[in-house]
Structure 1
Amino acid sequence: MNPVYKYFPNLTNGQREQYDRMLALYTEWNQRINVISRKDMDAFYEHHVLHALAIARFTSFQPGTRIIDVGTGGGFPGMPLAVFFPETEFTLLDSIGKKILVADTIAKELKLSNVTAIHQRSEQHRGQYDFIVSRAVTTLPDFVRQTRHLLSPKQKNAIGNGILYLKGGDLSKETAPFKKRTTISDLSTWFEEPFFATKKLLHVTF
């Protein structure tokens, strides 16, 4: 069984169809443009889709919430989250044009009207978002410097506006400057697969 359905049994039929199609679409595109490690494709749902959906285990979003996925690559974690939260607006941002091309094409194939893909560096991007999501594109202090200007001061969700950062390993040095503003969640509390044993989700507020 698709591990997504084990942890999220209440998905609509439409959402299940979108998640099911993802594997074929990413497999096809990955043969042309390498956006996912080829050896990783065998564990696509566990390593990419379920990993992204850790954010959906941590919180939910009010309709109209604006989220930017910085360094999205081929669309992670933003793409799986856009399927899960159809009333949330997602901007997928990456500085590598061919990766954004893949993300944009797959979003259109999946009919995700709540996704916008943009080829740009985060430092150059202008916009106001409730949350910034990402999968460990750099150290946390560097990421904060590159993206903090994108956060909106207006609150509309149960948790404070900020960064939702997926990363693994010992994060004590990286989080030290933001210690009082950071909540760290172990993904192993939500998912039983060994892959998640050292993976964490950081929520940093400002």
Structure 2
Amino acid sequence: MAERDRLRHRLDEGLAALGQDLPAALRERLIDYVELLARWNAAYNLTAVRDPGEMVHRHLLDSLAIAPHVSGATLADLGSGAGLPGIPLALVAPERQVTLVDSNGKKARFLREAVRTLKLANVRVIEGRVQDVPGQFDCITARAFATLADMLNWAGGLLAEGGSWLAMKGRLQEEEIAALPAGFQIARILPLQVPGSEGERHLIVVRRA
């Protein structure tokens, strides 16, 4: 089986397990993203995951698992790294304006290249600290780049009134949840079943109190 066919097969199986039916053209663009990431990763070490097939499970499907919980017209992905979950979420919802934020220069360069190569007209990249991002957003995603308290203390002001902060975590830490800063409350904690991935995954949904 050719490499792209292998990736396509893994993605199709995973989407079926998630109960998501995406158009064929969109699935091809998701594979394009994984192939671009794998090429850049060889030189720039953007992610510890080396195998593109594993990237489908641990990056693409992990990101797409939260897609049903994303809402609003604007999304900021903080500490986006290689564009996760921001780029997959931008691909599946081209009507939403997505801002990818990362302070690491080589990761920001990759993000800009991904936006150009994948023709993501709805995506902009900010290279800088989350504390310095202007504006407010209907939805904010963060994939375990800091504790909940740190993230909200640094960037809680970015969350628009009525918006949702989606924190992607592995094993739940009770002390981390208990340390939520004033002005915020946990709306829901959802276990995530990510096809092909081992270990616990959770989505913590935070809103303004």
Q: How does 1:53-132 map to 2 (within 5 A)?
A: 53-57=64-68, 59-62=69-72, 65-132=73-140
User: Is 2:7 the partner of 1:5?
Assistant: no
Q: Given residue 151 of structure 2, which amino acid in structure 1 is its aligned partner?
A: F
Distance 1:98 1:18 in 2: 22
Distance 2:49 2:70 in 1: 31
Match in the other structure for 2:191: 186
Match in the other structure for 1:143: 151
Distance 1:145 1:40 in 2: 35
Percent identity (aligned): 30
TM-score normalised by structure 1 residue count: 0.86
Q: Are the structure 2 counterparts of residues 25 and 150 from structure 1 closer, same or farther at C-alpha, using a change threshold of 3 Å?
A: same
Aligned match for 2:168, one of 166, 169, 173: 166
Q: Given residue 78 of structure 1, which amino acid in structure 2 is its aligned partner?
A: G
Q: Are the structure 2 counterparts of residues 109 and 194 from structure 1 closer, same or farther at C-alpha, using a change threshold of 3 Å?
A: closer
| Structure 1 runs (4+) greater than 3 angstroms displaced | 38-42, 177-180, 191-194
State the secondary structure of the residue aligned to 2:110.
helix
Are the equivalent residues in 2 in contact too, given 1:129–1:151 (CA < 8 A)? yes
Q: Are the structure 2 counterparts of residues 133 and 167 from structure 1 closer, same or farther at C-alpha, using a change threshold of 3 Å?
A: same
State the secondary structure of the residue aligned to 1:130.
strand
Aligned match for 1:14, one of 25, 50, 55: 25
User: How big is the alpha-carbon RMSD for the aligned residues of Structure 1 and Structure 2?
Assistant: 1.9
Distance 1:82 1:194 in 2: 22
Q: Unaligned stretches of 5+ in structure 1?
A: 156-160
Q: Given residue 196 of structure 2, which amino acid in structure 1 is its aligned partner?
A: E
Are the equivalent residues in 2 in contact too, given 1:77–1:133 (CA < 8 A)? yes
Q: Are the structure 2 counterparts of residues 192 and 76 from structure 1 closer, same or farther at C-alpha, using a change threshold of 3 Å?
A: closer
Are the equivalent residues in 2 in contact too, given 1:127–1:150 (CA < 8 A)? yes
Count residues in correspondence: 194
Match in the other structure for 2:6: none
What is the deviation of 1:8?
5.0
Are the equivalent residues in 2 in contact too, given 1:40–1:47 (CA < 8 A)? no
Distance 2:40 2:202 in 1: 28
Distance 2:195 2:30 in 1: 20
Q: Given residue 80 of structure 1, which amino acid in structure 2 is its aligned partner?
A: P
Q: Given residue 193 of structure 1, which amino acid in structure 2 is its aligned partner?
A: G
What is the deviation of 1:85?
1.0
Q: Given residue 65 of structure 2, which amino acid in structure 1 is its aligned partner?
A: A
State the secondary structure of the residue aligned to 1:31.
helix
What is the deviation of 1:10?
2.3
